[in-house]
Amino acid sequence: MLTSFFFENLTLKVKRDFFSFYCVYC
């Protein structure tokens, strides 16, 4: 369960970073 939570948090962070980078790139 803890690993799942960590993984979910990590993916969320990656998505947010990617979205931010994409916005900056645009």
Domain ranges of the chain: 1-26
By three-state DSSP, how is residue 21 classified? helix
Q: Report the alpha-carbon distance of residue 22 to residue 19 in Å, rounded.
A: 5
Question: The whole model's pTM is what?
Answer: 0.48
pLDDT tens digits, one per residue of 5-26:
889 999 999 998 888 887 777 6
Token pair for residue 20? 């931010």
Comparing 1 with 21, the larger pLDDT belongs to 21
